[in-house]
Amino acid sequence: MTHPSAAAPAGTARPRERASLRPANLGTILRLLRDRGPRSRAQIATDTGLPKPTVTPLVAELVGRGLLREGPARREGAVGRPGTLVHLDGRGLAGVGVEISTSYLHLLALTPRGDVVAEHREPLAVAQAGPGAVLDRTAAVVTDCLDALAGDGVRPVGLTLAAPGVVDTVNGTVVHAPGVGWRDVPVLAGLRTRLGAAHPPLALDNDAKLAALAEYFLDRDEGVHDMVCVTGERGVGAGIISAGQLLRGATGFAGEVGHMPLDPERRPCVCGRHGCWQGMVGLDAVLRLAADEGDAPHDPGVAPEARLARLRERARDGDPRTLRALERVADDLGLGLALLADVLNPRLIVLGGYFTHLGDLMLPRVQEVVRDRVMAPDAGGCEVRLSALGFAAAARGGAYLALDAVYRDPGAYGER
């Protein structure tokens, strides 16, 4: 079974008053508390537009299912009996996100409250291993996670697999991921076969799009609803949030920004074309510019964080080659980001993946280039900053998307 993945997690739904639309009202309350934090029943009624007599039994049902809990409000210095707030709970449920990257495998399981209840990460040379071996290892990691969750009494409501490149979310296929050499790989079918019957609903999505969902959940409290998340690893991709919705395009392939033809040297790309932007700013580019083949930062058996830490040390020590490499990549990164800002006019561009580990050394220059090249005054109001999630963003976004099943039909989860 595949759970829906063709859209971003459900936004705050409009309340419904008819009993036949009770699930929609339950979801409305859950999403309100997820997005805006604990509040009283009276405030829930005000914020959702539902009548107070309707809110009371809905909250009681969600509390009974373990999806909400009630507790006293903190009243610093106040006298009298404290009020009662309704909090998001759901600690007995989890969404699982698994990212297959070019150089690692990462699993993350989250409760609806955002608590991490399982996590695993390991280096994995995906291109060299091939699809079969990678799916074998993925199934083993997922099985260990599901067993651990069961032992803790946590029910997995879904699993979203994040993969690089162009993916077919309906058929569960990686159509073309040149960074790992995969073409037309039936990822979900392969994973189902390896997991057997005992697995939650599965879905597949693009890693950059899922990373963008995770970044959006992190930044929306600031009122940011138009943003671009640019994720850098061996390849470069983007997830685009427009008016609070994930932009997929006519056939679901929006965001392949790494293959914009911006390289004046027209170097060959793993996609088979020449001059792609990811050849200027991807991880391979910074490694090529900063270190010789065979040098420690090129070792695929070492976690990317450790390889990037080595480059940071060299930059801190004033190594001329490393500093020149970072300056060159910063210029080229700013060039592409300015193009995206001109076309999409986002409020925020977030740099994820490897950029979070070296980006602070490049960010001032990147921001300067964006300001200079964007046509609109003050870069159209666009801010460029680093991700706080780093390489964890795609798996976290997958977990969020898996949890969306709870918000769409709360009555199917928890116990009365």
pLDDT above 70: residue 80: no
pLDDT of 270 reads 86
3-state percent breakdown (helix, strand, coil) of the chain, nearest 5? 45, 20, 30
**Model confidence band, residue 416 (pLDDT cutoffs 50, 70, 90):** low
Q: Which CATH homologous superfamily contains domain 93-210+394-412?
A: ATPase, nucleotide binding domain (3.30.420.40)
At 389-408, the pLDDT tens digits run: 988 999 999 999 999 999 99
Cα torsion angle, 290, 295, 301, 302, sign? negative
Average pLDDT (187-208) is 94
Looking at CATH, the fold of the domain delimited by 222-390 is given as Nucleotidyltransferase; domain 5 (3.30.420)
User: Each residue of 235-244: pLDDT tens digit?
Assistant: 899 999 999 8
pLDDT tens digits, 298-347: 887 788 888 899 999 999 999 999 999 999 999 999 999 999 999 999 99
Evaluate whether the domain defined by 19-88 bears CATH number 3.40.50.1100. no
Q: Are 328 and 320 in contact (CB under 8 A)?
A: no
Per the listing, tokens 């969020």 go with 400
Q: What are phi and psi of 266, to 5 degrees?
A: 50, 45
pLDDT digits (tens, 9 = 90+) for 223-258: 888 999 999 888 899 999 999 899 998 888 899 999
Q: Which residue has the higher pLDDT, 297 or 159?
A: 159
Provide the residue count of the chain: 416
* pLDDT tens, position by position, 107-121: 999 999 999 999 999
Average pLDDT rounded to a whole number, residues 18-40? 86
pLDDT of residue 74: 60
User: Could you tell me the pLDDT band of residue 75, with boundaries at 50, 70 and 90?
Assistant: low
Q: What is the enclosing helix (H) or strand (E) of 231?
A: strand 227-232
Output Rg (C-alpha) for the chain, integer angstroms: 23
pLDDT band at 82 (very low <50, low <70, confident <90, very high): low
Report yes or no: 82 and 214 within 8 Å, Cβ to Cβ.
no
* pLDDT given for residue 71 in this prediction: 86
C-beta neighbour count of 348 within 10 angstroms: 20
Percent of the chain with pLDDT over 90: 73
In the chain, CATH 1.10.10.10 covers 19-88
Strand 383-386 and strand 348-353: the pairing is parallel
**Residues of the chain above pLDDT 70, percent:** 92
DSSP string, 92-107: TEEEEEEEE-SSEEEE
pLDDT band at 18 (very low <50, low <70, confident <90, very high): low
- Three-class secondary structure of residue 263 per DSSP: coil
pLDDT band at 219, cuts 50/70/90?
Answer: confident
Q: What is the location of CATH 3.30.420.40 in the chain? A: 93-210+394-412, 222-390
User: Among 18-27, 65-74, 204-213, 319-328, which is the least confidently predicted range?
Assistant: 18-27
